[in-house]
Amino acid sequence: MQSPEGSKEQAMDGVSKLVVEAYVQRMRAKSEAMLRGVAEAVNAASDGSWINGSEMQVRDLFADLRREAYETALQMRLEVKQAAFPPGGPARRSAFAEQGSGKPQHADGERAGGDHP
C-alpha cells in the first residue's frame, strides 16, 4: 500500500490519480461484508423461494456497494489532487489574480455578459 506522501508525489508530478492499491485496500472490508450479506440473504430464503426470497436484498447490497465504491474512488482522487495544492499556495494566489478586481463594469452595478432580472 502506498503512503499519503506517495500520493502527494504523484499529484505534484501532474498526475492526479488515486493509488489503486490503497483504494482496493480501503474497499476490501466493505466488499467482503457485502458478499457475506449475499450469502446470508440466500441462506435466509426459504426452500423453494431462494430467488424470490433473496433477489431484492442482494440487488440492494450490490447497489449500495457500487455507489460506495464509486464515491470512494472519486473522493480518493480528489484528495490526491488537493494534496498537490495546499491552502494559500501558489495555485490559490493565481486563482484570485485571474478573477479580476471585482468592481462593477456598468453604471448599474452589474457585470457585463449576464442576463439579470
Task: Please write the tens of the pLDDT for every residue from 69-93.
Answer: 999 999 999 999 888 877 776 555 5
Q: 2: helix, coil or strand?
A: coil
Residue 46 lies in a domain: yes
Work out how many domains the chain is built from and give that number.
1
Place of cell 449576464: 114
Domain carrying residue 63: 4-98
Nearest to 74 by CA among 27, 13, 4: 27
The pLDDT of residue 35: 98
Give Cα 98 to chain centroid, integer Å.
28
- CB-neighbour burial class of residue 32 (10 A; exposed 0-12, middle 13-18, buried 19+): exposed
Nearest to 84 by CA among 15, 24, 35: 15
Over residues 32-83, the pLDDT tens digits come to 999 999 999 999 999 999 999 999 999 999 999 999 999 999 999 999 988 8
The pLDDT of residue 110: 62
The pLDDT of residue 114: 57
pLDDT band at 9 (very low <50, low <70, confident <90, very high): very low
Residue 58 lies in a domain: yes
Alpha-carbon torsion (99, 104, 110, 114), positive or negative: negative
Geometric angle at alpha carbon 74, from 73 and 79, rounded to 5°: 100
The pLDDT of residue 94: 54
Residue 73 lies in a domain: yes
pLDDT band at 101 (very low <50, low <70, confident <90, very high): low
d(C-alpha 80, C-alpha 17), whole Å: 7
Residue 113 lies in a domain: no
